[in-house]
Amino acid sequence: MPFQIDAAHSEIQFSARHMMVSKVRGVFEKWGGAILLNPANPGATVVDITIEAASISSKDEKRDEHLRSPDFLGVEQYPSITFKSTKVEVTGDNTAKLHGDLTIRDVTKPVVMAVEYQGNAKSPWGTVNYGFSATTKINREDWGLSWNAALETGGWLVGKEIQIDIDLELVQVAEPEKVAA
């Protein structure tokens, strides 16, 4: 069943430890793709997302410039981050594990996201909207994002583990009517 991503009510967020004492959070502002959701058979759902790497925003332009540089995302050479699902494993009435391939800097590694179905509702405009949240943790160094600086007190400036949190609202699109031959 075709669905459109409601970008105004969806977000791809991330966080990483800073100096071992706090978290820096950010989002990707530009992304999209296709989600073929099958509400009757969630295990048959297919996800294909592309993120514009340069759209990273952590509320600090100097840090964002560094994140776009070859030290991290290298957006000039690697403009896109992609996720393509390989399997949906239903784990409960409202939960699943979304398996897929995450590609950053032309390095593709498998990841598993814990997904929670938030429900659906009919909007005032007559559409049916579905909500999902997903989360996973990755080691950024697995994708070649290994820049760091040692701290005088021990530890590192940037944590290796990246928390990824996704909130997604999908709008059901009417199926085109089949024309009789």
Cα–Cα dist 116/92, whole Å: 9
We report the CATH number of the domain holding residue 71 as: 2.40.128.110
147, part of any domain: yes
Which residue range(s) make up the domain with 57? 2-172
HEC string for 133-176? EEEEEEEHHHHCCCCCCECCCCCECEEEEEEEEEEEEEEECCCC
Average pLDDT, rounded, for the chain: 92
Q: What per-residue confidence (pLDDT) applies to 87?
A: 97
180, part of any domain: no
- What letter does residue 70 receive in the DSSP assignment? T
Cα–Cα dist 84/53, whole Å: 16
Q: What per-residue confidence (pLDDT) applies to 74?
A: 96
Beta strand 31-36 with 46-52 is: antiparallel
- Single out the residue of 45, 25, 42, 24 nearest to residue 33, CA to CA: 45
Question: Which residue is it, tokens 């391939």?
Answer: 101
Q: Tens digit of pLDDT per residue, the chain (181 long)?
A: 678 999 999 999 999 988 888 899 999 999 999 999 988 999 999 999 999 999 999 999 999 999 999 999 999 999 999 999 999 999 999 999 999 999 999 999 999 999 999 999 999 988 999 999 999 999 999 999 888 888 888 888 889 999 999 999 999 877 655 555 5
Question: Would the CA dihedral through 96, 100, 6, 126 be positive or negative?
Answer: negative
Work out how many domains the chain is built from and give that number: 1
Residue 12 backbone phi and psi in degrees, to 5: -110, 115
181, part of any domain: no
